[in-house]
Amino acid sequence: MFFNFIVNHKIPALSWLAKITKDAKGIDIVMGHKVEHTENAFVSGAWDGPFSNMDFQNAYFACCTGGKIHGPHNAIFSTPTHMQQYIFLINSNLHGGG
């Protein structure tokens, strides 16, 4: 599992979209130019820990959304600790099929 980062200057600077395709080996992350990322993680915002650890998913207090590769076949996506910001899911397989 890996992230393929694609910077798009036409979308808001701190926005991102994860395109997950069935049976794909990686996940495309289309992101604004201010989304921070490393090889295996990306984040838009801040949290109460060292930036270098990119450990936002375990933070006591986080004002961010992001994602992280978690093992060879998994990725995790994180929301803030407050309830005013969300991650939305759109299933484009609207017509059935596999």
Q: Please tell me the distance from the alpha carbon of residue 2 to that of residue 71, in angstroms, as a whole number.
A: 10
Determine if residue 52 is left, alpha or beta; phi over 0 gives left, psi from -120 to 50 gives alpha, anything else beta.
Answer: alpha
Q: What is the pLDDT of residue 98?
A: 52
Decide: 29 and 36 in contact? Cβ < 8 Å: no
- pTM over the 0.75 mark: yes
Across 7-32, average pLDDT:
94
Structure confidence by residue, pLDDT tens digits, 53-92 = 899 888 888 889 999 999 888 999 998 888 777 788 888 7
One-character DSSP codes across 10-38? TS-TT-EEEE--TT-SEEEEEE-TT-EE-
User: Does residue 87 or residue 26 have the better pLDDT?
Assistant: 26
Q: What is the pLDDT of residue 84?
A: 74
Distance of alpha carbon 5 from the chain centroid: 10
